[in-house]
Structure 1
Amino acid sequence: MANPFDGKVAVVTGAASGIGLATAQALMAAGVTVVMVDRNEVALAALVATSGGKAIAQVTDLLDPESCNAMVPDILAKAGRIDILHCNAGSYVGGDLVDTNPASIDRMLNLNVNAVIKNVHAVLPHMIERRTGDIIVTCSVAGHVSIMPEPVYTASKWAVTSFTQATRRQVAKHGIRVAQVSPGPVISALLADWPAERLQAVKDAGGLIEASEVADAVMYMLSRPRNVTIHDMIVLPTNFIDA
Structure 2
Amino acid sequence: MSADPTPASTTEFRALAHARLDGFERAEVPEAPGLRRAAVALCVAAEPEGPLSVLLIRRAYRGRNAGQWALPGGRLEPGETPRAAALRELHEELGIHAEESDVIGALDDFPAASGFAITPFVVALRDLTELRPAPDEVHSVHRIGLRRLAEPDVPHWVSPEEAVPGGLPPGAAPAPPTGIRMLQMRFGPGMTIHAPTGALLFQFREVVLLGRTPAESRVAHFAQPDWTHH
TM-score normalised by L of structure 2: 0.30
Structure richer in strand, relative to its length: 2
* TM, length-normalised to structure 1: 0.29
**Higher relative helix content:** 1
Question: Relative contact order, CA 8 A, sep 6+: which one is greater?
Answer: 2
